[in-house]
Amino acid sequence: MDRDSEYLDDPALPVDALARTLREQAWVNRRLGGGAATWGHALPWLRARSGVPTTLLEIGCGGADLTRRLVDAARRSGTPLHAVALDSSPGVLAYARQWCRAYPEITLVRGNAWALPFPPAAFDLVLLPTVLHHLPPDAVPAALAEAWRCCRGLLIVADVCRCPVAAWAFPLLGCLVGFGAVTRHDGRASLRRALTPAALARAAAQAGLPAPQVVRHAGCRMTLLARVGP
Ligand SMILES: C[S@@+](CC[C@H](N)C(=O)[O-])C[C@H]1O[C@@H](n2cnc3c(N)ncnc32)[C@H](O)[C@@H]1O
C-alpha cells in the first residue's frame, strides 16, 4: 500500500481489520471532531423540523454511526425520519447492516457517490461526510453535483482538511490511543490527500452549488453547507 492510498478502499482488507477500522472511525467521529463537523450542523436543522416527516441520505456511510445518531435524535424529538445510508463497499455495508439492526428507519444501499441511484430532490437532508478525500480528484465536482441534485433542503459536506503537520502527528496519536495499523495509516493518508477549504469551495462552484459556505472546525475539519431555496 503506498502512503497516499487507504486500506479502507482496498477490497482485499481482511474483515476483522475492516470491522476494527470502522469502529475506530466511529470513535474518531465521537472524540476527534469527525462527527461534530456533520451533526453540529445537522442536529439543529433536524430539531427545527420537529415532528415534520424527513428524509435523509448519507453518502459513503461507513458503519453508519452518523446516521444512527441522527435517527436517535429524530426519535427523541418525535420526528419521523427515513434514512438511506449508501456506500460503495459491500464489506463495509455488511457491517453497517449488522450495526443498524435496531434501526428499521435506515435502508442500506450500495452505490457510487458520483452516480447516485435516486431521483432529483429525493431527500430533505443530504450528508457527504469524510468521503471526498477517498475519490479521484476529478470525481469530486461530480460527487458534489450528485449530492446537490438529490437534495431538496440542506446539503452538508464534511471532510478533513489537508494538513501535513497533522498527517505527520496522526500515527503517533494513533499509537497513544491504541488505534490499529490501518487507522494509523489511513488517518495519515487522509490528512495528506484531503482538499484545502479553498479547493473545496472551488470544486463546489464547479459543481454548480449556489453560494456554498465552508466552515472550519477544530481537529483539521471543514464543513461545506448549501441550502435549496432562500
Ligand atoms: C472515512 S469513511 C466515512 C464514513 C462515514 N461517512 C463517517 O463519516 O464516519 C469513507 C467511506 O466512503 C466510502 N466510499 C469511498 N468511495 C466511495 C464512492 N465512490 N461512493 C460511495 N462511497 C464511497 C468508503 O467505503 C467508506 O465507507
The domain that contains 220 carries what CATH number? Answer: 3.40.50.150
Distance (angstroms) between ligand 1 centre and the Cα of 37 equals 16
Quick check: is 133 in a domain?
yes
pLDDT over 80 (residue 1): no
pTM score of the predicted model: 0.96
Whole-number Å distance between alpha carbons of 223 and 158: 4
* 186 CA from centroid of ligand 1 (Å): 12
Is there an atom of ligand 1 within 6 Å of 6 CB?
no
* 202: confidence class by pLDDT, cuts 50, 70, 90: very high
Are 209 and 226 in contact, with CB atoms under 8 Å apart? yes
pLDDT at 2 over 80: no
Residue 186 lies in a domain: yes
Among the atoms of ligand 1, which is closest to the Cα of residue 65?
Answer: 9
Q: Domain range holding 65? A: 7-227
Flag whether 2 is in a domain: no
Read off the pLDDT band of 94 (50, 70, 90).
very high
Averaged over 152-176, what is the pLDDT? 93
Domain total in the chain: 1
Is pLDDT at 32 greater than 90 in this prediction?
no
| Exposure class string for 92-121: b at 16+ Cβ within 10 A, else e | bbebbeebbeebebbebeebbbbebebeee
CA of 107 to the centre of ligand 1 (A): 16
Q: Which three cell numbers stand for residue 106?
A: 435506515
Of the pLDDT bands very low, low, confident and very high (cuts 50, 70, 90), residue 76 is very high
Question: Which tens digit of pLDDT belongs to each residue from 166-182?
Answer: 999 988 988 998 898 88
Is the shortest distance between the CB of 113 and ligand 1 below 6 Å? yes
